[in-house]
Amino acid sequence: MGEEEPNQDPLIGATLGGLYLVERLIGVGGMGRVYKARHTLLGKDFAIKVLPEGRADKPDATERFLREARSASKVDNDHIVKVVNVDRDEEHRLFIVMELLEGENLAERIERGALPLHEAIDIAAQTGDALQAAHDAGIVHRDLKPENIFLVQRNGRDFVKVLDFGISKIKNPEHGDPKLTATDQIVGTPLYISPELARGIDEVDHRTDVYALGVIVYEMLTGTPPFTGQNHFQLLYKHGNEAPDPPSQRSTRANIPPHVESAVLRALEKNPDERFGSMHELSAALAGPTVPKRARTLGIPLLATAIVAGVAFLLWPTKPPPPTPALAPAAPVTSGMTKESDASVETADLDLGVESVTLSVESSPKGAIVAINGERRGRTPLAVELTAGEAAKVRFSLQGYRTELRQVVAGEDETLRVRLRKKSRPAPPPIKTDF
């Protein structure tokens, strides 16, 4: 989005609504022009989005413009841009007043290359938090893309602001939910569009945003989106039909952890039922497994108990005990802990030292869904971490091919390769000859 010279824009220097002095153009989009403006009474700067004059007389464009303001203002979340006001000026120009953001959008950040893993996951978590709040309020964004994820600096780190709810869908809104016109049936940006939107399905739910965020995380990790094409039709077809390459095959940086790759591929499932059920689930999967708090902290009480027991032994009187007929087995020092808690301590300590191995899983053709011991891990090729000595049942499934099962015992790093067999087509029904 480029800026125009002030003398080419009639709004520069104008006062919208009698209060907002327009100072300069910030950017231009399909649904409006965004300006920096100063409130003449408060002396505070705001961003103002103005609906172009050519669209102001179109009811669907006006509704879409107002929907952005209603959707953003309906959700109280720090990661969604704040809408201050909606108004018309004396020339009947419709405009939205929003908080002014200083920084860059995610698209500009990605142009400089793939992001470090921790930055990508942090940005995804904040974006997911904003969208989860929107979903809880019955709002689906439907046009999530890097350009709509704005990054400002707070306390030395990126702080996400999600923008542009112009084509969002509101369930049971107070003021009705008019359908878009036929020309707007396919909504969203083709690089980030979900398969259901690519097919022109208007009734979509929050899982279409899960897909879009999966595409964005993929691009943050690799520097490129999973699908590219020479035109919109190629992109729509690929999103609807082709399996993405695993991010690890595209990344030029250090290896992507298996749990991150698995989370991204699950978010990119064609069938919404096979994706994460919420943004919180996606963020948790990207963050990966965490060591239970009990296992991390239990060593300190045990060490303190041992020290106390040692000091008590040294200070205890040395008078010999009276003779006994037989010595009973010495009871272990428990410090008031039960056998059950002793068992959990022992298990926790052992778990911290368990060796893990990597199982690389491949199939021909690639793109098969892999489930290990009933848990979906992603699509082939992928790498999964297993506990040394663990028995694993690996299931491969791919549309049009027979399901394959394999049993492995994780002993060392190895590769499991499977060639899938096509399903035999059922015999055609007999042709009736009795006329």
143 is catalytic: yes
Q: What is the rounded distance in angstroms from the CA atom of residue 92 to the CA atom of residue 191?
A: 35
Q: Read off the tokens for 264.
A: 């991204």
343-348 long-range contacts (CB < 8 A, ≥24 apart) are 344/294, 345/298, 345/302, 348/292, 348/294, 348/295, 348/298
- Collapsed DSSP state (helix, strand, coil) of residue 303: helix
Burial class of residue 99 (count of CB atoms within 10 Å of its CB; 0-12, 13-18, 19+): middle
- Collapsed DSSP state (helix, strand, coil) of residue 263: helix
Q: What is the rounded distance in angstroms from the CA atom of residue 114 to the CA atom of residue 89?
A: 43
Catalytic residue among 76, 87, 122, 143: 143
Q: What is the rounded distance in angstroms from the CA atom of residue 141 to the CA atom of residue 372?
A: 33
H-helix or E-strand spanning residue 37: strand 32-39
* Strands 15-16 and 20-29, sheet pairing: antiparallel
**DSSP string covering 135-193:** HHTTEE-----GGGEEEEEETTEEEEEE---TT-EESS-TT--PPPPGGGSS-S-GGG-
H-helix or E-strand spanning residue 35: strand 32-39
- Collapsed DSSP state (helix, strand, coil) of residue 274: helix
| 182-195 per-residue burial string, b: 16 or more CB within 10 A, e: under 16 | eeeebbbbbbbbbb
Q: What is the rounded distance in angstroms from the CA atom of residue 317 to the CA atom of residue 83?
A: 76
Q: Which residue carries 């006062």 as its tokens?
A: 15
Helix-strand-coil split of the chain, %, nearest 5: 35, 25, 45
Q: Give the rounded distance of the alpha carbon of 107 from its chain centre.
A: 16
Of 180, 191, 146, nearest in space to 164 by CA: 146
Q: What is the rounded distance in angstroms from the CA atom of residue 159 to the CA atom of residue 283?
A: 16
Catalytic residues: 143
